[in-house]
Amino acid sequence: MRGGAALAGLLALTGCTTQTQPTEMFQLTPESAINRAMQIRMFETPNERDLLSASAAVLQDLGFQIEESVREVGFLRATKERSAREYGQDLTRFTVAIGSAPLALFRSGPIVLPVDLHQKIAATLIARPLNPDASRYEVRIMFYRVVWKGDGVIGQTAIAPGAQYMEMLRDPVLYQTFFAKLSKAVFLEAFTL
């Protein structure tokens, strides 16, 4: 009986929460098909192990470190860390700070925009067989990054350092480079869908 009361209490609390996910979150955009085509290639090979080993080697050649590998399901995850500083951000930060200096007359102080400081670039790869005899594989790789921002000030409000955001990397050259190196590494030709 106590379990039923707990479940009823949990359901009552769940009913009081509001939906926080936007309805657009799961909608496909016109760019979805383009992004998917950029991320996927097919390979004719009877050996998944060689395909995954070659994929790991290519990622390492591109400066990534393999963090996770599950050969049974054809999964690899690799990361690399880099500076995220860009010249344009510092210039924009300086220009906005100088332009907002007169706000000090109104006791709100200048605006100092936070800039990107550090980034962690990640690659997630899935290789899956496309036919029953496992002689044809689909390889999908997705690159994304997490960026950490520095501190800033807007009026009297300080923006603490460490805020972060994540974004997918959609540079076609990045994906083309990976698949070209992978094709050479396994001596196979990649087929687009």
Tens-place pLDDT, residues 93-126: 667 667 766 665 665 666 777 777 789 999 999 9
Please check whether the domain covering 33-185 is classified as CATH 3.40.1350: no
Contacts of 31 (CB under 8 A, 6+ apart): 170
Residue 188 to residue 193: CA distance in whole angstroms: 16
DSSP assignment of 91-142 equals HHHHHHHHHTGGGGGGTS--EE---EEEEEEEEEEEEEESSTT--EEEEEEE
Contacts of 57 (CB under 8 A, 6+ apart): 185
Angle among Cα 25, 29, 31 to the nearest 5 degrees reads 130
Domain ranges of the chain: 33-185
Rounded percentage of the chain residues whose pLDDT exceeds 90: 41
pLDDT in tens, 2-30: 444 443 443 444 444 444 455 555 677 88
Kindly report whether the global pTM for this prediction surpasses the value 0.85: no
Contacts of 169 (CB under 8 A, 6+ apart): 121, 143, 144, 145
Other Cβ atoms less than 10 A from the Cβ of 78: the count is 24
For residue 126, what are its two tokens?
């899935």
Q: What's phi and psi for 169, nearest 5 deg? A: -95, 120
| Cα distances (Å, whole numbers) of residue 98 to 106, 110, 117, 131 | 15, 8, 21, 62
Q: Return the half-sphere exposure (C-beta side, CA atoms, 13 A cut-off) of residue 162.
A: 2
For residue 65, what are its two tokens?
């470190």
Q: How confident is the model at residue 159 (pLDDT cuts 50, 70, 90)?
A: confident
Residue 17 to residue 127: CA distance in whole angstroms: 39
Residues in the chain: 193
What DSSP character marks residue 160? -
Position 60 scores a pLDDT of 97
Coarse DSSP helix, strand, coil percentages of the chain, rounded to the nearest 5 percent: 40, 30, 25
